[in-house]
Every structure is written in C-alpha cells, then in structure tokens.
C-alpha cells in the first residue's frame, strides 16, 4: 500500500544504500550473514564457475521420492491411494492418518525445520539413536497427510544432509544449497493444486464444513522424503522463522518494528476511517492466497470510502441529512455515476495516467483499473470464477491500484518511491515460487533460472520507459494523455490533474494544469484521425473564455493536438499539421498550440541536452504555434537532395541565412531533433568556410537517405 510513512523505522541503518541486503532469502551457513564479497576483478571467473555448477547440477540423476504435506484438518476418508489431475498432469498420491513427526529436540520448533523423520507412527518409535543427534526426540502426531509420488534431483538429499559442513567462504557450497532450496520450494508450490483437487473432491462428496481449499499460508511446510531421508521445505519465510522477526543491518540483527505502541494507542482511541478495515482485510486475504475474497474486499473498501466521501462533501456544502439521503439514493445502483458525481462536487479528477519509475506502473489510469477490478469482482461473485493460485500478479495489481485510489479518495494522495517501508518488508515474508516450472504429462518439471549470458544486453527500466514514451504517439498504441504527462516530466514542468470532465463533451475538459515561474496554463489534449477542425477549435476557445470569466488571474491555455493519429509518424504533416483557419482562431485568443509530435521532440531535445530546459518551458507559454523547431534555433533552409556517394545533403539556404563550418545544425526527424556539427561545406563543387543564402550548399552529414527527404527543414542556432 503506497502511502507516506510516519512511523520511525527500526534503525536508521535501514535507510542506507545496502538496505536490500537485510531481506536476503535463502541458505546462510551456520547462521552467518557476513559472506565475503567477491572482488570485481573475479566476477567473470565466478560467473563462469556458477554457470558450470548450474549445468552440472541440473543434469544430475533423479530419484523416486515422496512430497509430503500435512493438511490443517482431517480428511475423513479411509487411507489409501488416489489419482489426481491438474491441467494435463496426472499424479499418484496417498492419504494417511497415522503419520507422526520426530524433531531433533529438546523442542519441536513452530517452523518444523528441526524435523528428522516423517512417516508411520510405528516407525517413529523405532528410530535409531543416530537419527536424532540431540538424543532427545520430540514426537508429534499429524493430522491427515497427503504424500505425492514425484521425481526429485538426487543431490537435494545429499546436499541437505551435509549443509552443516558448508563454511562461510564456501561459495559453491552456498550456491548449491540455495539451488536445492529454490528447486524444492518451487516443486512444493506446484503441487498445491493437486492437494486442492483432493480437498474439493472430498468436500463435494462429504459436505465437511471443517475442510477448505488451502494456499501456501495454510500449508507452509512440506517434506521431500526418500529412504527415510527427510528434507524440510518452507514455503513462507513468515512461518519459517521461530522467533520475533528481525532484519540484518550494518549494526547487526535488529527486531523489526512496524509501528509504535503510541500510534497503536492513538488509533485505539478513535475510529478507523470508513473502508480502511475492508482494505486491510483485502491485504491479509491476498497474503493468505484467498484471491477471490481479496478482490471482493478491496472493491467493498472503495465503495464504502466513496459513499462516506460524497456524504462528507454534501454536508460541507450545507445539505441537510434528508437532502444527502436523496442525493446518494440517486446513484445507489450506479457506482460510476456516483464516482462522477463526487468528482464534480469535489472538483477532483480520478488520477491518471500515473508516472512511475517502474515501466509497468507508468501510465496506469486508476479509473480503468477500477473498472477492470470491478469486472473481475463480478466474475467472481456472479459467475463463480475461482482465481488460480498462480495468478497473484493480477491480484496484486488490483490491490495496489485500488489502494492508490482509496488513498486519493481519503485525501492521502501519496504513492511511489516514498511508499510504506512495512509493505516492502512484509512482502519478503510471504514467499513465492523461485524458479520457472511447467506441468507435463509425467509430473511437474522445474526449470533452471534464466540467467542472462555475459554477451547479452540487459534492458534497463529507463530504456523501457523511453520505448514506452515513443509508443505513445504511434498509431497502434496512441496515448495522448500519457505522452503529454511524460513530456512535461522530461521538460521539468509541474503538472497536476485538471478539473473533472464536463458531462457533455469530455474531450473539451482541461486535461492538465501546468505551472512554471509564477505562470499557469490549462492544457487541452485534442485527438483527431485527420486534422483538427474549426468547430472543435471554437469549442475549446469558448471553454477558455468561460474559465477567464470566473478566474481572478489571467488564464493561459496550451492546446496539444494529436493529428493523423491513425497514420504512421513519418507520413504525418508537420508545418501544416494545424490548418491555417484553425491556427487563426487560436492566435486570436492568444493560445499556445503544439502537436503531440512537436511536444515529444521538444521533450527529447531537453532530455538529451540539445536545448536549454528553461527555453523549452518558456515556449509552452508563448502564444501561437510552437515546437516546429527546437527553442533557440531558427529555420535556415530546406533539404533539396541527398547524395549517397558523398554522404552529403544539398541545402537550399533562405535569404540572409548563413551557415559556417563548425556550426551546429539540426534536422527534424520523425522521432527526434538530430544535431550535428558542420565539418564540410561545398558550393558548386568548391569547398568553402561559410555559405550565405539564398544559395544551395552541400553539407556533409551522418544521416542516410532514409532520414532525409526533399523539403525537410534545417535549423541553425539563433
């Protein structure tokens, strides 16, 4: 849940750059955390060694084994074998009621990680002394146990039995144990659906009210067993720790404090905000793997919060209780009508598109996320759809986006990198499958982790966001709102949501409000499959006039036009993108106009340091058509022809325009302003130091014919 944190964290050291090291999950030899760092000069060698170890380990032999899990209830059926199917995999399993655990005493730990035997109770009483090193066996009878017949890589058992011998500087040994743990955890996760197949079949024939479908929360401990060799498998780190949660920091081990007693006391003395308990229920249900219930709860939280907020706004406007009841009754059966009514009453627009450093979050619209989550809730509630155990990703997205919407409704509009630290910590305690796997006819097949090769390039988040930004003006993935919002971010302009959309023509709403250096402008985003028409232009002008009448300060407007959006970028008009008759209407009212491509090229020029950001920001407040050329540059002429044999462009210079060797010139390409330094100028085959228009001059260029066309404008610095 993304919100501003007010609780002091456990230790200041948790804010250090190495904070993520406190949440490492896996095998640590002899309880140590101080594993020596690998010197950078040894990285390549260590990577090669690790890859060789991976290849050898995964090609090792498998042995027939049992994957055993204890259910948290009794299946009141006779013991015996049963066939279970999930997807295209058929599995043989057996049901047992007389199994027992033996732990290496003096106590049986809640995590069960000291279990040395799982099997028939009679066998537990006949264990040799060498099987229990402490000499103090602790017996525990088990409820119903399901044992599945599986193939397990043989080294899992050998590695587990020798784990105590792994030294802190034994990197191959540590990697081996972590590999075993990830492999077995994934194998156990993949078998939960088979257990649920057995449970649901039992429930439907017995009507037993005590049995229920399980998730990793209900069955966090599994065992791999082969010839009395037992390997403990923990699926959830939360259940795998036998003591109060701690984190490793630069000062050692510190208890993790999620909140203070003072804050708990303060909350105990007041009521929880309407809808918040339902939101917290959704979070808990999601962590317990009860995804359908989580979706129901998170939508209920939004509905409760919205009703409270709309009643609160009406009360603030002086409505009586009777009037508030009448008003809310009008939208009782139409949630989105109620949401729209709240937007207009509060003059707050549901946020979106959201900007974020994570590519798949960047561009999210909370309204569309709300619609998708409500549709999912409808399928769950009214169509009986059951959410699969492995669909955590979509459910996590639904919860987090609805959490952001809840925070917006309640006035806590904070999300992003400054989110709640507790949420990060609790996420590490949940666990998840660690390796890829698939269901084949013969069983579950776990695959090695996909590790990029040394010669493979890794795409960074910045590169993914850059690609996403360029796609916002493509005909196949047009997204004007996101394009404009991201452009303002690159240029460095403060941008916030505009007022709610009008009920008649939503495209005429002020989409954003921007501010810079004591100047404010409302922003319109207009889209057209062709070119913008005069009727739409006049409507925008009328909207601006209305705003000017009610405003105490001057109102400036910036109109972004996404023209010919169904055509490829290269085929769209540039200078004539906004027709003259349309432009005259805008100029009459002193409005700034740009095309989406103008704005995108301007933002890229700022981001790539090709023009000064201050000039670009000023341009957004200058009346008239802007953005054809980058700020600080003017048109010097046009391209007449390209000569591939000489890698040169023939430029027809305009009157009184001068270019010199060493000058920087800019070509406007489809996606970017391309700048280069003039290294050679020729006129009529003679090399010269400068050329003065009107004339034709040949200029060396790094561009090819694909990027130059007749009539293309060339710009020089003013």
In a domain, 610, yes or no: yes
Residue 240 near residue 98 (C-beta atoms within 8 A) = no
Domain count, the chain: 4
Both 518 and 579 in one domain: the answer is yes
Residue 412 near residue 273 (C-beta atoms within 8 A) = no
Residues in contact with 704: Cβ distance below 8 Å, sequence separation at least 6, in sequence order? 642, 644
Query: What is the C-alpha to C-alpha distance for residues 167 and 549, in angstroms, rounded to an integer?
Result: 77
Residue 124 near residue 100 (C-beta atoms within 8 A) = yes
Both 581 and 641 in one domain: the answer is no
Query: What is the C-alpha to C-alpha distance for residues 217 and 84, in angstroms, rounded to an integer?
Result: 22
Both 251 and 130 in one domain: the answer is yes
Q: What is the mean pLDDT of residues 283-301?
A: 96
Boundary-marking domain end, from 579, 606, 625: 625
pLDDT tens-digit map of 642-672? 999 889 999 999 999 999 999 999 999 988 9
Query: What is the C-alpha to C-alpha distance for residues 181 and 172, in angstroms, rounded to an integer?
Result: 14
pLDDT band at 203 (very low <50, low <70, confident <90, very high): very high
Q: What local confidence, expressed as pLDDT, does residue 48 receive?
A: 86
Query: What is the C-alpha to C-alpha distance for residues 606 and 603, in angstroms, rounded to an integer?
Result: 5
Pick the more confident residue, 8 or 294: 294
**Closest to 27 (Cα-Cα) out of 263, 232, 260, 314:** 232
pLDDT tens-digit map of 419-470? 467 888 888 888 889 899 999 998 999 999 877 665 667 788 999 999 999 9
Q: What local confidence, expressed as pLDDT, does residue 311 receive?
A: 96
In a domain, 440, yes or no: no
Both 297 and 372 in one domain: the answer is yes
Please calculate the CA angle 79-112-198 and round it to the nearest 5 degrees.
30
Residue 536 near residue 526 (C-beta atoms within 8 A) = yes
Query: What is the C-alpha to C-alpha distance for residues 473 and 21, in angstroms, rounded to an integer?
Result: 40
In a domain, 428, yes or no: no
pLDDT tens-digit map of 156-176? 999 999 988 888 888 899 899
What proportion of the chain, given as a percentage, has pLDDT over 70?
92
**Closest to 68 (Cα-Cα) out of 142, 123, 128:** 142
Q: What is the mean pLDDT of residues 198-205?
A: 97
Rounded to the nearest angstrom, the gap between the alpha carbon of residue 489 and the centroid of all alpha carbons in its chain is: 19
Helix (H, G, I), strand (E, B) or coil at 532: coil
Both 308 and 338 in one domain: the answer is yes
pLDDT band at 411 (very low <50, low <70, confident <90, very high): confident
Q: Is the pLDDT of residue 28 over 80?
A: no
In a domain, 120, yes or no: yes
Boundary-marking domain end, from 625, 645, 676: 625
Q: What is the pTM of this model?
A: 0.86
Q: What local confidence, expressed as pLDDT, does residue 671 receive?
A: 87
Both 616 and 651 in one domain: the answer is no
Q: What local confidence, expressed as pLDDT, does residue 10 receive?
A: 38
What is the full DSSP assignment across 451-497?
---TTS----HHHHHHHHHHHTTSSSS--HHHHHHHHHHHHT-EEEE
Q: Indicate which CATH number applies to the domain containing 598.
A: 3.40.1350.10
pLDDT tens-digit map of 326-378? 999 999 999 999 999 999 999 999 998 999 888 888 999 999 999 999 999 99
**Secondary structure (H, E, C), 347-380:** CCCCCCCCCCCCCCCCCCCHHHHHHHHHHHHHHH
Q: What is the mean pLDDT of residues 475-492?
A: 94
In a domain, 266, yes or no: no
Residues in contact with 316: Cβ distance below 8 Å, sequence separation at least 6, in sequence order? none
What range defines the domain where residue 384 resides? 274-409
Top mean pLDDT of 257-266, 299-308, 546-555, 563-572 is at 299-308
Boundary-marking domain end, from 625, 654, 675: 625
Both 548 and 661 in one domain: the answer is no
**Closest to 395 (Cα-Cα) out of 198, 215, 189:** 215
Both 143 and 24 in one domain: the answer is yes
pLDDT tens-digit map of 493-534? 999 999 887 766 655 678 999 999 889 999 999 999 999 999
In a domain, 455, yes or no: no
In a domain, 265, yes or no: no
Q: What local confidence, expressed as pLDDT, does residue 3 receive?
A: 34
Q: Indicate which CATH number applies to the domain containing 663.
A: 2.40.30.10
Both 356 and 466 in one domain: the answer is no
Both 479 and 343 in one domain: the answer is no
**Closest to 379 (Cα-Cα) out of 452, 493, 299:** 299
In a domain, 431, yes or no: no
Both 57 and 172 in one domain: the answer is yes
Q: Is the pLDDT of residue 19 over 50?
A: no
pLDDT tens-digit map of 227-246? 889 999 999 999 998 889 88
Helix (H, G, I), strand (E, B) or coil at 385: coil
Q: What local confidence, expressed as pLDDT, does residue 503 receive?
A: 60
Q: What local confidence, expressed as pLDDT, does residue 354 receive?
A: 92
pLDDT band at 177 (very low <50, low <70, confident <90, very high): very high
**Closest to 176 (Cα-Cα) out of 191, 189, 161, 187:** 161
Both 217 and 289 in one domain: the answer is no
């Amino acid at each position: 849940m993304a919100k501003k944190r007010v609780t002091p964290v456990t230790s200041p050291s948790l804010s250090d750059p190495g904070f993520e090291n406190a949440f490492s999950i896996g095998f640590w030899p002899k309880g140590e955390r101080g594993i020596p760092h690998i010197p950078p000069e040894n990285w390549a060698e260590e990577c090669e060694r690790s890859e060789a170890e991976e290849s050898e380990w995964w090609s090792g032999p498998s042995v027939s084994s049992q994957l055993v899990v204890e259910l948290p209830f009794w299946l009141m059926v006779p013991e015996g074998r049963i066939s279970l199917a999930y997807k295209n995999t058929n599995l043989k399993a057996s049901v047992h009621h007389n199994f027992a655990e033996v732990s290496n005493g003096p106590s049986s730990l809640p995590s069960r990680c000291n279990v040395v035997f799982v099997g028939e109770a009679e066998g537990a009483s006949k264990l040799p002394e060498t099987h229990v090193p402490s000499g103090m066996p602790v017996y525990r009878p088990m409820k119903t146990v399901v044992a599945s017949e599986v193939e397990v890589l043989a080294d899992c058992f050998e590695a587990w039995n020798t784990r105590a011998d792994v030294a802190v500087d034994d990197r191959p040994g540590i990697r081996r144990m972590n590999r075993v743990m990830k492999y077995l955890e994934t194998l156990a996760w993949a078998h939960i659906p088979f257990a649920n197949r057995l449970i649901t079949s039992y429930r439907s024939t017995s009507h037993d009210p005590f049995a229920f479908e399980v998730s990793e929360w209900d069955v966090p401990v599994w065992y791999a067993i082969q010839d009395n060799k037992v390997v403990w498998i923990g699926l959830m780190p939360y259940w795998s720790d036998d003591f109060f949660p701690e984190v490793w920091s630069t000062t050692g081990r510190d208890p993790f404090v999620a909140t203070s007693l003072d804050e708990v006391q303060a909350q105990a003395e007041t009521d929880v905000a309407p809808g918040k308990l339902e939101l917290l229920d959704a979070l808990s249900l999601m962590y317990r793997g009860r995804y359908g219930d989580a979706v129901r709860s998170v939508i209920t939280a939004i509905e409760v919060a919205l009703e409270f907020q709309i009643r609160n706004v009406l009360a603030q406007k002086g409505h009586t209780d009777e009037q508030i009841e009448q008003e809310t009754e009008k939208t009782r059966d139409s949630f989105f009508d109620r949401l729209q009514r709240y937007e207009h009453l509060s003059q707050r627009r549901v946020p979106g598109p959201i900007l974020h450093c994570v590519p798949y979050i960047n561009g999210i619209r909370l309204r569309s996320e709300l619609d998708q989550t409500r549709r999912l809730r409808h399928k769950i509630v009214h169509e009986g759809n059951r959410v699969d155990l492995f669909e955590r990703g979509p459910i996590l997205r639904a919860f987090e986006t609805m959490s952001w919407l809840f925070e917006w409704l309640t006035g806590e509009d904070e999300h992003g990198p400054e989110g709640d630290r507790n949420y990060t910590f609790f996420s590490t305690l949940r666990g998840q499958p660690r390796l890829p796997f698939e269901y084949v006819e013969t069983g579950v097949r776990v695959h090695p982790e996909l590790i990029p090769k040394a010669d493979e390039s890794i795409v960074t988040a910045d590169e993914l966001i850059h690609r996403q930004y360029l796609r916002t003006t493509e005909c196949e993935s047009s997204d004007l709102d996101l394009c404009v919002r991201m452009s303002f971010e690159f240029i460095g302009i403060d941008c916030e949501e505009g007022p709610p959309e009008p009920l008649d023509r939503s495209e005429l709403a002020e989409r954003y409000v921007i501010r810079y250096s004591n100047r404010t402008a409302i922003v319109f985003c207009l889209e057209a499959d062709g070119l913008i028409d005069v009727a739409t232009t006049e409507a925008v002008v009328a909207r601006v006039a209305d705003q000017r009448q009610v405003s105490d300060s001057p109102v400036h407007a910036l109109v972004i036009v996404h023209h010919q959006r169904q055509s490829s970028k290269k085929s769209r008009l540039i200078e004539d993108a906004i027709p003259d008759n349309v432009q005259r209407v805008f100029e009459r009212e002193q409005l700034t106009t740009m095309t989406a491509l103008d704005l995108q090229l301007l933002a890229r020029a700022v981001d790539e340091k090709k023009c000064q950001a201050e000039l670009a920001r000023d341009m957004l407040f200058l009346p008239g058509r802007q953005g054809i050329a980058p700020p600080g540059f003017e048109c010097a002429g046009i391209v007449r022809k390209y000569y591939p044999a000489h890698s040169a462009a023939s430029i027809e210079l305009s009157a009184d325009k001068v270019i010199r060797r060493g000058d920087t010139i800019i070509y406007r390409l489809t996606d970017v302003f391309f700048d280069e330094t003039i290294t050679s100028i020729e006129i009529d085959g003679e090399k010269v130091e400068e050329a003065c228009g009107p004339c034709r001059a040949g200029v060396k260029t790094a561009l090819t014919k694909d990027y130059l066309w007749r009539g293309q404008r060339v710009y020089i610095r003013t």
